[in-house]
Amino acid sequence: MERNLARFLSVAFIVVNALLLLLVNKSKRPSKTPYQVGVHQESKGMPVHSMKADVSVTTHLYGYRQEIRRDRTSCLDITFAGNGTCLLPSTALASFPGSGNTWVRHLIELSTGFYTGGMYRDPTLQRAFPGEGDRTRRVITIKTHWPWVGKVDPVGYERVVLIIRTPLDAMKAEFTRQHSSERSHVDQVQTINQTAWQKFVKSQIVKYQRFHDFWFNISEKKSLDFFVLFYDDMRENTAQILINLAHFLGISDIRDQLPCIHANMEGSFHRKAPGTAEVADPFGALDETLSKGIDKIAQIVNKQVRSCLKKGVCLTSRSTQLKTL
């Protein structure tokens, strides 16, 4: 009798442990359904020169969020995943050209401790970004301008960080890059050929709309984790945005790294915006037709942001619409 009871208890113990193991493994699997998010609460503006650590971490549940733990004494301690850590979910860092992708990459690397990759092999960026051209899971995000450029992006993304910048500001930045020496990411241009500038804007208006249509549509269709990053938020509320973006990417709390990030914030490729105290604006006023076209595409993108928030399939850095110029 006692022998049978012992055998029964032994079998029951094995069954219970097997069930617990199955439950644990199931809980680790990424969700295939859209995650539920909410709009970030408005917080006090924090300009770039202020990187206070007394801001909260806004947390959400994501289908492909992978908790990453790295012991770092400095934000300059950056590596590829796989060096003592697991490989990362494939994450697009998508932006219309001129929207600040390069500067955001720099801040992501400082914040997370992992190199960023890119669909392209820009020789001007390879010195500062060892992951330039890397499309694997060794990098925390992969820079892409698809479908703005003709080259097909073959990466099967699970997550998307979409950088959105006011259309005219993005077009000014890209026009400047294309017309500076060696297509530099930092050089300025002193004079602008107004005919070439107006023609450039006309050609970019449709591309700007199609670019954002693509990423909003594919993110919803494929239930990708989707973080809409407004460039102006990054400029005006840097610490809070970096904390929330790092959480999205898998780093729960970077507040201890904020002083280091602040000291190294600008990086090598952050061009000053024209029309600021540091840089005069050489661009002339657009004609009425182009101005209306710019306003229209901004309104379309704002509508797309509001729609994805309402459906609960995305979250934003803080803002819910582009600023008007």
Other beta carbons within 10 angstroms of residue 72's beta carbon come to: 16
Residue located via tokens 């582009």: 322
pLDDT for 227 equals 97
pTM, whole model, 2 decimals?
0.80
Q: Mind listing the pLDDT tens digit for each residue in 94-151?
A: 999 999 999 999 999 999 999 999 998 888 888 889 999 999 999 999 999 998 876 6
Nearest to 307 by CA among 220, 221, 205, 214: 220
4 pLDDT higher than 70: no
Q: Mind listing the pLDDT tens digit for each residue in 201-253?
A: 999 999 999 999 999 999 999 999 999 999 999 999 999 999 999 999 999 88
If you ran DSSP here, which 8-state letter would residue 88 be given? -
d(CA 235, CA 258): 15
pLDDT for 181 equals 59
193 pLDDT higher than 60: yes
| Res. 61 pLDDT band, cuts 50 70 90 | confident
Nearest to 103 by CA among 70, 125, 123, 73: 125
d(CA 66, CA 53): 24
pLDDT for 251 equals 92
Lowest mean pLDDT among 71-80, 107-116, 186-195, 245-254: 186-195
CB 132 within 8 A of CB 120: yes
Contacts of 310 (CB under 8 A, 6+ apart): none
Give the H or E element holding residue 160.
Answer: strand 159-164
Question: Which domains are seen in the chain, by residue range?
Answer: 91-165+213-270+301-316 (3.40.50)
